[in-house]
Amino acid sequence: MDKSHPWKLYSSWMPPEESEALLSQALDHWPWEQGKVHLFGSWHDEPRWSFFQADPGLMYRYAGRTLVGSGWLPELHDLRKRIEHDLGIPFNSVLVNGYRHGADYMGYHRDNEVELGQNPQVASLSLGATRDFLLRRIAPPKDRHVLSLQSGDLLWMKPPCQDVFEHALPKRIRVQGFRINLTFRLIH
């Protein structure tokens, strides 16, 4: 970790055999949805698949989309417990993103929705294709950082990351493989 930045990368947090098994389970069995978001006055398909899991009744809203928790798949509940143990902080929801190929992406944003409270903690586990992940400081000097996230890497975005930096997963047209990203969050 670069000590001057509010994130910590645990490379190969998940061993490769487990990441591969989970990826294949995810492709065959997870409840993927094509989400729609409201941006610039109209509805758009998100450029990725996703789904949300959380303790029953918890709600998460972004870009006009409302997601409601109704419990956990056993393998996601197990992951949540392991990440809570390793980072020493609680999570009660996960947004799972599926990038089908390098043309799927997520633009610059912050995970700072009101339901995440004052100091959002985000733990982000990557599986599958390696993709660049960008962090850009909002205020000058507006420094920009590129992390190459590989299968099994766990990125912890700690406070004040969501106040000071925005992040993005840019298009990388040459990437052909599927990538999954699980972002664990605490909804208040």
Q: By CB under 6 A, name the binding residues for ligand AKG.
A: 95, 97, 106, 111, 124, 133, 167, 169, 181, 183
Q: How far is the CB of 168 from ligand AKG (least distance, A)?
A: 7
**12-to-74, 129, 172 alpha-carbon distances in Å:** 22, 13, 22
Residue sitting closest to ligand AKG (CB) = 181
Q: How far is the CB of 49 from ligand AKG (least distance, A)?
A: 12
Q: How far is the CB of 17 from ligand AKG (least distance, A)?
A: 22
Degrees, nearest 5: CA angle 48-137-39: 35
Phi first, then psi, for residue 137 (nearest 5°) are: -70, 140
Residues in contact with 152: Cβ distance below 8 Å, sequence separation at least 6, in sequence order: 11, 12, 13, 14, 15, 16, 18, 19, 125, 126, 127
Q: How far is the CB of 182 from ligand AKG (least distance, A)?
A: 9
Which is nearer to ligand AKG, 154 or 169 (by Cβ)?
Answer: 169
Which is nearer to ligand AKG, 13 or 133 (by Cβ)?
Answer: 133
Owner of token pair 């989309």: 65
Which is nearer to ligand AKG, 140 or 152 (by Cβ)?
Answer: 152
User: N- to C-terminal Cα distance for the chain?
Assistant: 28
Which is nearer to ligand AKG, 97 or 150 (by Cβ)?
Answer: 97
